[in-house]
């Protein structure tokens, strides 16, 4: 089987810098598993995986635009070191998480001078080429549960015992209630009396 969308892929990899330094590797560990097309790995590598099959070994160079993005100086900021509460000594290279409206964001201490620190919200590999050595270990079709990890089968709790396969666009929810049969949007739109209980 060749790698295509909605296939589960296991692969071994070694990631190196342009200078040849090993940044990360699955050597000595279980292979990395991901679902093709689900954007679980950087887009440049995901695109390069298409069409390969078990046993294939190949190299991929991923440019920053298809990896962790270009380095953005606007994502650096000077802050007082006392913002790092509970840390005795703030040093370059330390990683912290800042709470943002979009959720926790990893930040790295770039430098420290006196009572000021420069923090950097760029990914540590931003602006760098990613050089992968890949070996495909296994390829198989993904199951429904893997494609919909929260599950889409549940009892709607109507007057009958029908199942509502929520989450599927255009799906008709047949809950067995009297005269009830309409589109289900997975968010209460199917009209089940106990929908919120079972889908919320």
Cα-based distances in Å from 77 to 93, 129, 149, 155, 177: 15, 24, 38, 51, 58
Cα-based distances in Å from 32 to 40, 192, 193: 11, 41, 43
Q: Which domains does the chain have, with CATH numbers?
A: 7-68+127-147 (3.10.50.40), 73-120 (2.40.10.330), 150-200 (no CATH)
DSSP string, 46-102: HHHHTT-BTT-EEEEEE-GGGTT----GGGEEEEEGGGSTT-S---TT-EEEEEETT
Phi–psi pair at 65, nearest 5 degrees: -60, -25
Going from the first residue of the chain to its last (200 residues), give the mean pLDDT of each consecutive group of 10, the final group possibly shorter.
97 97 96 96 97 98 96 94 88 88 88 94 95 98 86 40 45 42 43 42
pLDDT, position 102: 79
Q: What is the largest CA-CA distance in the chain?
A: 73
Tokens representing 12 are 């071994």
| pLDDT (tens digit per residue) in 48-66 | 999 999 999 999 999 999 9
């Amino acid at each position: 089987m060749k790698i295509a969308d909605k296939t589960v892929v296991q692969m071994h990899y070694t990631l190196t810098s342009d200078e040849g330094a090993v940044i990360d590797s699955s050597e000595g560990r279980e292979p990395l598993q991901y679902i093709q097309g689900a954007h679980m790995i950087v887009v440049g590598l995901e695109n390069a995986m298409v069409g390969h099959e078990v046993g294939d070994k190949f190299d991929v160079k991923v440019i920053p635009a298809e990896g962790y993005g270009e380095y953005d100086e606007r994502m650096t900021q000077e802050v007082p070191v006392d913002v790092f509460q509970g840390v005795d000594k703030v040093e370059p290279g330390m990683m912290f998480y800042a709470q943002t409206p979009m959720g926790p964001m990893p930040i790295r201490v770039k430098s420290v001078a006196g009572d000021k620190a420069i923090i950097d919200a760029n990914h540590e590999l931003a602006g760098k080429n990613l050089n992968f050595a890949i070996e495909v270990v296994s390829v198989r079709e993904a199951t429904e549960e893997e494609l919909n990890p929260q599950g889409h089968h549940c009892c709607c709790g109507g007057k009958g015992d029908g199942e509502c396969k929520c989450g599927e666009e255009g799906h008709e929810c047949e809950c067995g209630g009297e005269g009830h049969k309409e589109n289900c949007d997975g968010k209460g739109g199917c009209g089940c009396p106990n929908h919120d209980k079972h889908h919320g």
